[in-house]
């Protein structure tokens, strides 16, 4: 959510930002909010004036009673009763208008960074930098499910039978490799100074509405029937919501935390073969990082966070690149975002394995995450999030980039200690 003062004082800037995001259907909302806000402030001003008048009259009653002027005091009491009725009416309007404004403000996009490239969708995202030499083989790279089946590491059929499509059983050494990657990611981020955390996997609707846009919520979240609870799509949701309605001491900033969780997503729509298997699924596990910081520090943290993910993948010799998300590909809460993509020798192209986003104060406004400095001044914190790693999707990149001609998989050196000293997974069938 943006600051309403931007609409009060600079509607053109807000409208231009909407145009940059190719959301012209939202342009009339800016004028609607402006008019609603004028009416809201009018009701509030009248209410404030009447409350002040009521206080003065109440003081006057006390004075009259002390002077024994009961009749005059009773007359003023009746005037106060009339004022109370009018105040209640005005307060009801204040609440109603405030709710209307908030509902519309929640769909107005955050102001994007000046250097975000303009584009309608993810086809117009811009490569920033490639890291590592693309892996090339003289032999064909099988489809990732075929690699996993040869290693006796996956059972999709049983998962479909008991849960439906988009689910999986990971087996044996592959399941262990999956856990090894997460354990290594945890330790990697702890070594970067982040505090490790395991958060709740369910959130109430108020928290969900604070951390994500409504279109994302509908497309992603699973609702628990009969309860005000949603399964999280990423631990970022819980980790940012952790600070909801908090007034933080500036001296304790920044909060840099890394979290593990299972994640659950609807993943609506049909997808090609490369996005089936374990690429686009309803349940997976993830290591995330979040930062809550001072506004002037969020740009620096953004740069640090996505480079950590690059460093993590390169430590396993997986070639990656960073991709700047264009204006039309940014979710409404995002100020700036960088995707991290791993190279697929099979597809001979990169695919997304993580995303780093600076939300500036948009989430903090929704969740009322404020900071108090040493002088007692209060302001909204900036929030950022980034994927460290999200297996099993990243296993596709790990398997393809460590594949031997006989179908066996070399385990990256950094993972060997987490695999009990094993440095290769051999073909089972």
Ordered DSSP codes for 86-151: HHHHHHHHHHHHHHHHHHHHTTSPPPPPTTPPP-SSGGG-EEEEEESPPP--SSPPPPHHHHHHHT
Kindly tell me if the per-residue pLDDT of 158 is higher than 80. yes
Residue 379, beta-bridge partner list: 371
Average the pLDDT over 238-260 and give the result.
97
Average the pLDDT over 339-352 and give the result.
96
List of domains in the chain: 4-105 (1.10.287.40), 122-425 (3.30.930.10)
pLDDT recorded at residue 268: 64
- Measured between alpha carbons, how far is 189 from 326 in angstroms, rounded to an integer? 28
Least confident window among 95-109, 120-134, 256-270, 288-302:
256-270
* pLDDT top residue among 83 and 348: 348
Kindly tell me if the per-residue pLDDT of 162 is higher than 80. yes
Least confident window among 21-35, 37-51, 172-186, 401-415:
37-51
Give the strand pairing for 320-324 and 370-372. unpaired
Percent of residues, the chain, with pLDDT higher than 90: 79
- Measured between alpha carbons, how far is 343 from 108 in angstroms, rounded to an integer? 35
DSSP type of residue 403:
B
Whether the CB-CB separation of 83 and 49 falls below 8 Å is answered with: no
Whether the CB-CB separation of 242 and 366 falls below 8 Å is answered with: no
pLDDT recorded at residue 135: 94
Q: Full-prediction pTM beyond 0.75?
A: yes
- Measured between alpha carbons, how far is 176 from 171 in angstroms, rounded to an integer? 8
Whether the CB-CB separation of 211 and 363 falls below 8 Å is answered with: yes
Kindly tell me if the per-residue pLDDT of 216 is higher than 80. no
Least confident window among 66-75, 206-215, 313-322:
66-75
Over the chain, what is the mean pLDDT?
Answer: 93
Kindly tell me if the per-residue pLDDT of 215 is higher than 80. no
Query: Of the candidates 175, 144, 155, 126, which has an alpha carbon nearest to the alpha carbon of residue 275?
Result: 144
- Measured between alpha carbons, how far is 70 from 301 in angstroms, rounded to an integer? 67
- Measured between alpha carbons, how far is 178 from 156 in angstroms, rounded to an integer? 16
Kindly tell me if the per-residue pLDDT of 277 is higher than 50. yes
Average the pLDDT over 281-307 and give the result.
96
What is the tens place of the pLDDT at every residue in 35-64? 999 999 998 899 888 888 888 888 887 777
pLDDT recorded at residue 271: 46
- Measured between alpha carbons, how far is 278 from 143 in angstroms, rounded to an integer? 11
| b/e per residue 378-398 (b: at least 16 CB within 10 A) | eebbbbbbbbbbbbbbbbbbb
DSSP type of residue 424:
E
pLDDT recorded at residue 322: 98
Kindly tell me if the per-residue pLDDT of 390 is higher than 90. yes
Name the 3-class secondary structure at 353: strand
Average the pLDDT over 370-392 and give the result.
96
pLDDT recorded at residue 80: 83
**Distances in Å between the alpha carbon of 370 and those of 1, 63, 354, 385, 398?**
14, 42, 28, 18, 41
Q: Exposure of 116 by Cβ count < 10 A (0-12 exposed, 13-18 middle, 19+ buried)? A: buried
> Hunting for tokens 């400095």 — which residue is that?
373
The model's confidence at residue 219, banded by pLDDT at 50, 70 and 90, is: confident
Average the pLDDT over 288-293 and give the result.
98
């Amino acid at each position: 959510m943006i600051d309403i003062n931007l609409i009060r004082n600079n509607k053109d800037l807000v409208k231009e930002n909407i145009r940059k995001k190719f959301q012209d259907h939202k342009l009339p909302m800016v004028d609607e909010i402006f008019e609603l806000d004028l009416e809201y402030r009018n009701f509030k001003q009248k209410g404030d004036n009447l409350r002040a008048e009521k206080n003065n009259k109440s003081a006057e009653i006390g004075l009259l009673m002390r002077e024994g002027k009961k009749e005059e005091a009773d007359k003023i009491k009746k005037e106060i009763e009339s004022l109370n009725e009018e105040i209640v009416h005005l307060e009801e309007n204040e609440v109603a208008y405030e709710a209307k404004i908030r509902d519309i403000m929640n769909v107005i996009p955050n102001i994007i960074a000046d250097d975000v490239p303009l584009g309608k969708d993810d086809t117009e995202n811009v490569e920033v930098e490639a890291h590592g030499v693309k892996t090339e083989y003289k032999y064909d790279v099988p489809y990732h499910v075929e690699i996993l089946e040869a290693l006796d590491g996956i059972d999709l059929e049983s998962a479909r039978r008991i849960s439906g499509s988009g689910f999986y059983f990971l087996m044996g050494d592959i399941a262990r490799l999956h856990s090894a990657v997460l354990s290594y990611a945890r330790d990697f981020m702890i070594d970067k100074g982040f505090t490790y955390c395991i958060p709740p996997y369910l959130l109430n609707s108020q928290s969900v509405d604070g951390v994500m846009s409504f279109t994302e919520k509908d497309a992603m979240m699973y609702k628990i029937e009969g309860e005000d609870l949603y399964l999280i799509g990423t631990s970022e949701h819980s980790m940012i919501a952790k600070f909801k309605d908090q007034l933080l001491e500036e001296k304790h900033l920044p909060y840099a935390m890394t979290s593990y969780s299972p994640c659950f997503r609807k993943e609506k729509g049909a997808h090609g073969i490369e996005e089936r298997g374990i690429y686009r699924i309803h349940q997976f596990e993830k290591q995330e990082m979040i930062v809550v910081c001072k506004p002037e520090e969020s740009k620096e943290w953004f740069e640090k966070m996505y480079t950590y993910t690059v460093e993590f993948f390169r430590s396993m010799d997986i070639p990656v690149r960073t991709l700047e998300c264009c204006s039309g590909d940014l979710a409404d809460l995002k100020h700036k975002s960088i995707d991290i993509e791993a190279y697929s020798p099979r597809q001979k192209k990169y695919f997304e394995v993580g995303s780093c986003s600076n939300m500036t104060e948009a989430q903090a406004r929704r969740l009322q995450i404020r900071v108090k400095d040493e002088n007692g001044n209060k302001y909204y914190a900036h929030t950022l999030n980034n994927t460290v790693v999200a297996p099993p999707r990243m296993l596709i990149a790990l398997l393809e980039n460590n594949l031997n001609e006989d179908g066996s998989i070399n385990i990256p050196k950094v993972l060997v200690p987490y695999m009990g000293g094993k440095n290769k997974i051999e073909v089972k069938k």
